[in-house]
Structure 1
Amino acid sequence: MSLKKEINYSIWCDFVERDFLENEFKDLVTNEVIHGATSNPAIFEQSISSSDAYTQQMNMLQANENKKIYEELAISDIKTAAKILKPLYDNDANDGFISLEVDPLLCDDTKATVEEGIRLYKQISHDNVMIKVPATQAGYKAMEELTTLGINVNATLIFSSIQALESAKALNEGILKSGKDTKGVVSVFVSRFDRTLDSLMIKKDLEPAKVGIMNALKCYYEIEKIQNDNIRTLFASTGVKGDDLEPTYYIDNLIYKNTINTAPLSTIKAWIENGEKSKSKVITEDECDKYFEKLAKRDINIEKTSEQLLADGLSAFKSSFEVLLKKVKI
């Protein structure tokens, strides 16, 4: 039995690029290796900067403002992905989604985020699209308003269990108000914790490459308490850096019921070859709590780290977006 049928577990691809969508992506979807895809400003900045596939359309759009050019390029890709994923969505409306993020510069403006989310969703005009909204104070309200309108939402840049719960609550409120089969995912970022804390963990004679997984699971348990089948935890930032860990480390250890793992293409390929294809050994919420109590006693402040990672994540996405807007003008 597949992991999808057994525990409602899915792999999504954290990569969008035009040539890839028209070729390899189709094969991965057809063979049901992946069941969805995600994008973000950094991914589009990389794809548009490095691929000639965008040149012709970009040239045709040069009379427009920078943001308009970017949106036309991105929406073309999102529409392509949505069409390819549609059969999966038609078969199981929990999967087959592609995500597009709102302008990250709007992260502290609820009204502008909602207006842009509505506009992008209407322009794309595919049911199997999620609008990505960063998990800020303004973002929680925007998530609720968008889902109330029946717009599927991907709550992103989540580093703490508090963010995870607030996002799940916002999505739940909106979905219940919508009266529709509206979907939401809560994107919990994983590996960045370990990249930030591993050197400190080693200095304190603590196991490295563990905080990210334990924190992700704590977030997962908070999300599951909402008990809404239309809301799933999505583990993001699951690629490894360097050779210290197996490429599939953050997939193999996070195969849990009702979850998604959105991974870079290279990580997915490694998982196809050598990755774990069965449920992970369960770490309970109580074990997570005790683990973080132990870290607190060793003066490792997870709350402070979460706040810094959120600030860094927002800054990085804003920077990528600003660089991208400059690059679309030839």
Structure 2
Amino acid sequence: MSNPNTQALSDAGVSIWLDDLSRERLESGSLAALAAERNVVGVTTNPSIFAAALKNGHAYEGQVAQLAAAGADVEHAVFEITTDDVAAACDLFAPAAAATGGVDGRVSIEVDPRLARDTESTVAEAVKLHARVDRDNVLIKIPATVEGLEAISATLAAGISVNVTLIFSLERYRAVINAFVLGLEQARENGHDLSAIHSVASFFVSRVDTEIDKRLDAIGTDEAAALKGKAGLANARLAYQVYEELFSSERWKLLAEAGARPQRPLWASTGVKDPAYPDTLYVTGLVAAHVVNTMPEKTLEATADHGEVIGDTIAGTYGASEAVLDALAHLGIDYNEVVGLLEEEGLAKFEASWDELLEDVALALNSSKIGG
């Protein structure tokens, strides 16, 4: 039986996806239980999630031993392990995908983050991941770097569904939507069924507050203190305004008439970093139709326990949200510099986690060879 708070969120038009995946979660039934009891209808992953899964569980030992015996190198082993988990999760959510025409029931897997500045290699990796998972409800995650924009269009043009990740700025979000529309226009030219191509745009929330709050603390005035914890929601709400604007354009209407579905905004980085803030801040404050909120389990459980869902909390906020960004600029906080820094830091974190994942798998492969 579903939880009343998560049910209310779903009823308000928010798709709940879990920001976590592991072999243990799949095999224990934990993920299936969250689908049944917490209205979870999708999963997102990233290098950090896979690194934690490999480090903290024993569920991979059998597969690692098989890969070691076959002489697999570490890159191949990581590819096999992560795509197997994603394929299994896709199977679990296949009924949700069927029930929603593929809108939900989605499971995301990210291209190697070391390729984020390499357009051609990103596209090649996206095609390879899509073929290996071989499920209609997989989403290939591509970072929204400048180089990633062309890769997003090319991947969509090949008929592959995409989760665009690491979006921080409104300007870049506009460019992401343009890349999405261009990709669908090319997909149509290539003869693909547009209704079968899906996409979400992952707009990061809490990291914006973390960085800007640090700068507000350094300013130290009452005016600065009054703005703490407001930038993340304001930025995301203005992103929804961009979504409404660009998906009502004449250019988009032509694609919609051909069966295309809009790229939904996805709220990512929704776990609160500052314990002074309500732990459901980036859930209850970002309720609107046609969005996804991907949550770590801690945030999901907080929502289920005490999240107050009162309906749409984005409509009517655009003026106040603009005022927040204007006030930050008045204090000398450079929006473009902040979001640029967050993109660089986000990529660096994913690359570090990927390196950690490679190291852990290398150690596991060597241990299996020695043990065997």
Match of 1:86 among 68, 76, 94: 94
- Which secondary structure does the structure 2 equivalent of 1:52 belong to? coil
* 3-state secondary structure, aligned to 1:212: helix
C-alpha distance in structure 2 between counterparts of 1:186 and 1:235, whole Å? 8
The residue number in structure 1 matching 2:156 is: 147
Deviation at 1:88, TM superposition (A): 0.6
The corresponding residue for 2:368 is none
Q: Which runs of at least 4 in structure 1 moved beyond 4 Å after TM superposition?
A: 1-7
Deviation at 1:252, TM superposition (A): 0.9
C-alpha displacement at 1:3, in angstroms?
5.0
Task: Write out aligned runs for 1:8-157 (5 A).
Answer: 8-22=13-27, 23-31=29-37, 33-62=39-68, 63-92=71-100, 93-157=102-166
Amino acid at match of 2:345: D
Aligned counterparts, 1:227-306, within 5 A: 227=247, 229-282=261-314, 283-306=316-339
Range with greater deviation from structure 2 (148-157 or 192-201):
192-201
Query: Secondary structure, in 3 states, of the residue corresponding to 2:107?
Result: strand
Distance 1:147 1:81, change over 3 A: same
Q: Deviations over 1:6-58 (max 9, x none)?
A: 54311110000112123111122234611111000011001111111111111
2:213 match: 198
Tell me, in whole angstroms, the C-alpha distance in 2 between the residues paired with 1:292 and 1:110. Answer: 32
Task: Evaluate the alpha carbon distance shift between residue 176 and residue 32 of structure 1 in structure 2; reply closer, same or farther with a 3 A threshold.
Answer: farther
SS of structure 2 residue aligned to 1:144: helix
How far off its partner does 1:242 sit? 4.6
| DSSP 3-state at the match of 2:294 | strand
Kindly tell me: are residues 11 and 210 of structure 1, through their superposed partners in 2, closer, same or farther at Cα, counting changes over 3 Å? same
Distance 1:220 1:112 in 2: 31
Runs (5+) with no aligned partner, structure 1: none
Question: Do 2:284 and 2:308's aligned partners in 1 also have CA atoms closer than 8 Å?
Answer: yes
Structure with higher Rg: it is 2
Deviates more, 1:307-316 or 1:270-279: 270-279
Select between 117-126 and 273-282 the one with higher mean Cα deviation.
273-282
Report the 3-state secondary structure (helix = DSSP H, G, I; strand = E; otherwise coil) of the residue aligned with 2:141: strand
Quote the offset at 1:326 in angstroms.
1.3
> Which amino acid in the other structure matches residue 17 of structure 1?
S
**8 Å Cα contact 2:270/2:282 also seen in 1:** yes
The alignment's C-alpha RMSD in Å is 1.7
Unaligned runs of 5+ residues in structure 2 are 189-193, 253-260, 365-372
- Contact 1:42–1:321, Cα closer than 8 Å, also in 2: yes
Letter in 1 for 2:76: K
- SS of the residue corresponding to residue 35 of structure 1 reads strand
The percent of aligned pairs where both chains have the same amino acid is 31
Return closer, same or farther for 1:199/1:112 CA change in 2, 3 Å cut-off: closer
Correspondences of 1:164-179 after superposition (within 5 Å): 164-179=173-188
1:225 aligns with 2:259: no
Give the alignment partner of residue 358 of structure 2, picking from 294, 301, 325: 325
The structural deviation recorded for 1:277 is 2.7
Q: 1:247 Cα shift? A: 1.7
Out of 117-126 and 220-229, give the one that drifted further.
Answer: 220-229
Decide which moves more: 311-320 or 221-230. 221-230
So what's the TM-score if we normalise by structure 2? Answer: 0.85
**Match for 1:16: what amino acid?**
L
Q: How many angstroms apart in 1 are the aligned matches of 2:291 and 2:74?
A: 36
Residue type at the aligned position of 2:296: P
Once the two structures are TM-superposed, the CA of residue 208 in structure 1 deviates from its matched residue by 1.3
CA distance in 2, matches of 1:298, 1:242: 22
- Pairwise CA distance, 1:137: 1.2
